[in-house]
Amino acid sequence: MIFTETGTLGLRRTAVDKVALERRTSVIDLQGHAIRIKHGVWGAKPEHEDVVAAAGALGRPVREVAQLALQSLQEQPEER
């Protein structure tokens, strides 16, 4: 498709491998919106797609919703 749709005469291809650390996922409720949280060896991070969806529904900035999600996580009792 690239050759037929563009004027390129060549294309470079590179194989890429991904090494992922062990992780688990939990879900928090942020003002009625479910946000998945990925927990890894070095900390936790909210799932970007969930944060964007919640931010749009709440009319708030994505960065703010991500911070609220992490704050909500810290306020929950720790799982054993």
pLDDT at 73: 84
Cβ atoms of residues 66 and 46 within 8 Å: yes
| Cα distance between residue 76 and residue 14, in whole Å | 44
pLDDT by residue for the chain (80 residues), tens digit each? 899 999 999 999 999 999 989 999 999 999 999 999 999 999 999 999 999 999 999 999 999 999 999 999 888 766 54
Residue ranges per structural domain of the chain: 23-80
Predicted TM-score (pTM) of this structure = 0.72
pLDDT at 70: 95
| Cα distance between residue 11 and residue 2, in whole Å | 9
pLDDT at 79: 56
